[in-house]
Amino acid sequence: MSISRRSFVSSAAAGVAGGLVAGTPAMSQTAASRSRVLGANDRIRIGSIGVGGMGRSHLGNFQQHDDVQIVTVCDVWDVNRRRAQRMTEKQAGGAATMESDFRRVIDRPDLDAVIVATVDHWHAIPMILACQSGKDVYVEKPISHNLKEGRAMVEAARKYDRVVQVGTQQRSGLHFQEAIKVVQSGALGKIHRVHAWNTGNQSPAGLGKPADVPVPAGLDWDMWLGPAPKVAFNPNRFIFNFRWFWDYAGGMMTDWGIHLLDLALWGMKETAPKSVYAVGGNFVLDDNRQTPDTIDAIYEFPGFVCSYSNRTGNAYNGAGRGYGIEFYGTNGTLFLDRGGFEVIPETGGTATAPTPQYLSEQEPVAPVWKRSWNAPTRARTQGMKAGTSDQNLTHIRNFLDCMRSRQRPVSDIEIGHHSTAMCLLGNVAYRTGHKLTWDAAKEECVDDPKANALLTREYREPYTLPKI
């Protein structure tokens, strides 16, 4: 049983899944083929699926664009629904309606697009169904819980000719674009290493170990779990902390690492590694998380190595920076984060050292290295302020403009899939405990059944991927 537009509805009517509402209207026959041509002055009508903290942040940013109308907001928790609706009370046309079932949002023929800002493991199903119903999509990162459903999302966008923007908003940041131009210009020399990191200190208790408790009032816990295994409600599996459980997400690797590894792929003009190896564990924190509190992943590319490091038991970084990415070239290093970027010139060395006269009677003289290079010398370039709000607005503007032009946005779904896959592969390498050889064309690990089993998941009925 798959959550196609029809079977998902019929399964609900049959009462197969406890959280589904019997009698949910089937997708209209015209919805799958509709694609309203937007005029220059048309208001873009949007439904928002998942309006927790990140979803409401998107809601506020979309509302700052004059050509947007928030028509409906949807969440499985009534607290989030009410908070989101209050944000729309003063908009032209009145407050948005509220829904608890995302299918009712997708079924609406009067919507042009949906925002999917649910928990990570719920990104794929509504995104694919929205594409099938003729709607464009703004989907949060990471795009998918596993690699196979990420590829299905790309296929859906292409088959149904939809504009899909991924929430890797740094691609719309001006200082990020400028920094990537420096990386790609050759000014840093031969770039042979890229390193990204996040550090912090949550020791010793971390998230703690709260006991399971009754489901909060107004929350459809079965629907929230969706394709994940059915378990009792635990506070650490809900709201922000769901990120640290394999059933729903991929830890810091997919939560923050995706932003940094996306920059690595962008700067180096790559889409996938040749191999991946990762080590780590839960060494420090005494809590009930499943994802590691310490991890290092190494990615091999033709001509360079990329690495990502996260630790949550020590916040020290030699440069005083808790996160960031550095591109190391023979002529200089470029550091980049949301505050700006900086180029640090390389000192010493030449391509050709003087040859010691080992055959002479004199002791050989150590070669004197002198460097001739063309890396730019500059002070730190400042980036966005106030939590990168400007680049968020620009990112959304790009999505809205592409809805009209039908061009692919700056963070097109396939770009988001490649960046998400980097993170997912790092986690797969960590969980298998061995090096992965990656076949990018087939999107599978070479001769590695154990790893390939982690490229998908067992979906809890009826919450399976729609057929494309």
Return the percentage of the chain with pLDDT > 90, whole number. Answer: 79
Residue 53 carries which side chain, given as an amino acid letter?
G
* Dihedral sign from CA coordinates of 321, 325, 329, 333: negative
Q: Is 164 helix (H, G, I), strand (E, B) or coil?
A: strand
Q: Would you say residue 349 has pLDDT above 60? A: no
Each residue's pLDDT tens digit, 273-321: 999 999 999 999 999 999 999 999 999 999 999 999 999 999 988 667 8
Considering the segment(s) 7-171 as one domain, its CATH architecture is: 3-Layer(aba) Sandwich (3.40)
CB-side exposure of 369: number of CA atoms within 13 Å? 8
The average confidence (pLDDT) of the chain is 88
State how far the Cα of 25 lies from the Cα of 101, in Å rounded to an integer.
11
State how far the Cα of 285 lies from the Cα of 57, in Å rounded to an integer.
30
Q: Would you say residue 9 has pLDDT above 80? A: no
pLDDT of residue 371: 45
State how far the Cα of 400 lies from the Cα of 138, in Å rounded to an integer.
10
pLDDT of residue 37: 72
pLDDT of residue 385: 41
Phi, psi of 455, rounded to the nearest 5 degrees = -85, -5
> Nearest-CA neighbor of 287 among 362, 235, 355?
235
Return the percentage of the chain with pLDDT > 70, whole number. Answer: 82
Q: Inter-axis angle of helices 174-185 and 257-268, to 10 degrees? A: 40
- How far, in Å, are 20, 91, 173, 303 from residue 326 at the CA level? 47, 43, 17, 16
Determine whether 352 is exposed, middle or buried from the number of CB atoms within 10 Å of its CB (0-12, 13-18, 19+). exposed
Mean pLDDT of all residues in 220-247:
98
Q: Inter-axis angle of helices 124-132 and 147-159, to 10 degrees? A: 10
Mean pLDDT of all residues in 254-261:
98
Q: Would you say residue 7 has pLDDT above 60? A: no
Query: Which residue is associated with the tokens 């499943």?
Result: 290
pLDDT of residue 317: 80
Mean pLDDT of all residues in 367-375:
48
Helices (H), 220-275: 221-225, 251-255, 257-268
pLDDT of residue 187: 94
**Predicted confidence band of residue 390 (pLDDT cuts 50, 70, 90):** confident
pLDDT of residue 361: 57
Q: Would you say residue 336 has pLDDT above 60? A: yes
Q: Confirm if 13 and 23 have CB atoms less than 8 A apart.
A: yes
Size of the chain, expressed as the number of residues it contains: 468
Each residue's pLDDT tens digit, 183-212: 999 999 999 999 999 999 999 999 999 999
pTM to 2 decimals? Answer: 0.89
pLDDT of residue 352: 53
Mean pLDDT of all residues in 422-439:
98
**Longest distance between any two alpha carbons in the chain, whole Å:** 97
DSSP 173: -
Domain boundaries, the chain: 7-171, 174-384+414-447
134 or 40: which carries more pLDDT confidence? 134
pLDDT of residue 17: 33
Mean pLDDT of all residues in 106-131:
98
Each residue's pLDDT tens digit, 47-105: 999 999 999 999 999 999 999 999 999 999 999 999 999 999 999 889 999 999 999 99
CB-side exposure of 461: number of CA atoms within 13 Å? 7
Each residue's pLDDT tens digit, 126-141: 999 999 999 999 999 9
Each residue's pLDDT tens digit, 143-186: 999 999 999 999 999 999 999 999 999 999 999 999 999 999 99
Q: Would you say residue 386 has pLDDT above 90? A: no
Mean pLDDT of all residues in 203-226:
97
State how far the Cα of 342 lies from the Cα of 321, in Å rounded to an integer.
13
**Predicted confidence band of residue 14 (pLDDT cuts 50, 70, 90):** very low
β-strands 191-201, 304-311 pairing: parallel
Q: Is 389 helix (H, G, I), strand (E, B) or coil?
A: helix
β-strands 68-74, 44-49 pairing: parallel
> Nearest-CA neighbor of 258 among 387, 142, 375?
142
- Judge if the upstream peptide bond of residue 204 is cis by omega within 30 degrees of 0: yes
Q: Would you say residue 20 has pLDDT above 60? A: no
- How far, in Å, are 164, 191, 276, 331, 397 from residue 410 at the CA level? 10, 24, 27, 29, 11
In sequence order, what are the residues at sequence separation of 6 or more whose Cβ sits closer than 8 angstroms to the Cβ of residue 76? Answer: 19, 100, 219, 220, 221, 223, 224
128 or 38: which carries more pLDDT confidence? 128
β-strands 113-116, 275-281 pairing: unpaired
Question: Tell me, which fold does domain 174-384+414-447 have in CATH?
Answer: Dihydrodipicolinate Reductase; domain 2 (3.30.360)
**Predicted confidence band of residue 387 (pLDDT cuts 50, 70, 90):** very low
